[in-house]
Amino acid sequence: MSTTEVTPAVVKGLVERFQVCWEAWPEYLMVGQEKRQIGFALDLYGAHEDGAAHTDPGCPECQRVLAALHVLAGWIVPKEIRPSYYPLEPYRETLSYSPARGNRPDITLTIKVVHRQGYERPVDTCEIRCLREMEDRLHELGAPERRWSPRRGSQAVEGQT
């Protein structure tokens, strides 16, 4: 999909089609004897379309989900150059099954939010701000935190109001 085809409606459609949800985690690094938070990991989770036949991790259906997650990642990361940056973790051809998402087979794409220079420095306001902006964009696109909810789409996690 070329960048000229990517509109908010297209991205929202991908979120719905692949039931995308997300979670953010602290990113730690051992620096000497200190466990230090240096940024965040933002996991995007997507699932096969209803009725899609699944063979193995990395199958053509998984690749479609992964491509959609890449489009979404490109849409939510800040575009201007900042002191932080947002590398994507390499895709591992695995499926994850989390009770938090009803044990559905998830394809995961991880976006790191870390310092552009001085990688080992403690997390600061830039990483926090960038993560919040990405989370806000995910909510605007209808991607709920933690678990997909077809009844409420962009609302909060199931069970919360």
pLDDT tens-place string over residues 105-156: 899 999 999 999 999 999 999 999 999 999 999 999 999 999 998 654 444 3
54: three-class secondary structure by DSSP = coil
Question: What is the b/e burial string over 61-76, where b = at least 16 CB atoms within 10 angstroms of the residue's CB?
Answer: bbebbbebbebbbebb
124, part of any domain: yes
Instruction: Find the domain containing 109 and state its range.
Output: 3-140
Helix and strand tally (H, E) in the chain? 3, 5
The confidence score (pLDDT) of residue 46 equals: 95
Question: 111 lies in a domain?
Answer: yes
Give the count of domains, the chain.
Answer: 1
Query: Does 33 reside within a domain?
Result: yes
Say if 156 falls within a structural domain. no
Output the average pLDDT for the chain: 88
Indicate the DSSP class of residue 13.
Answer: H
- Say how many Å lie between the first and final Cα of the chain, rounded: 36
Q: Look at residue 102 and tell me if it is in a domain.
A: yes
Q: What's the token pair of residue 55? A: 């063979």
DSSP β-bridge partners for residue 44: 22, 109
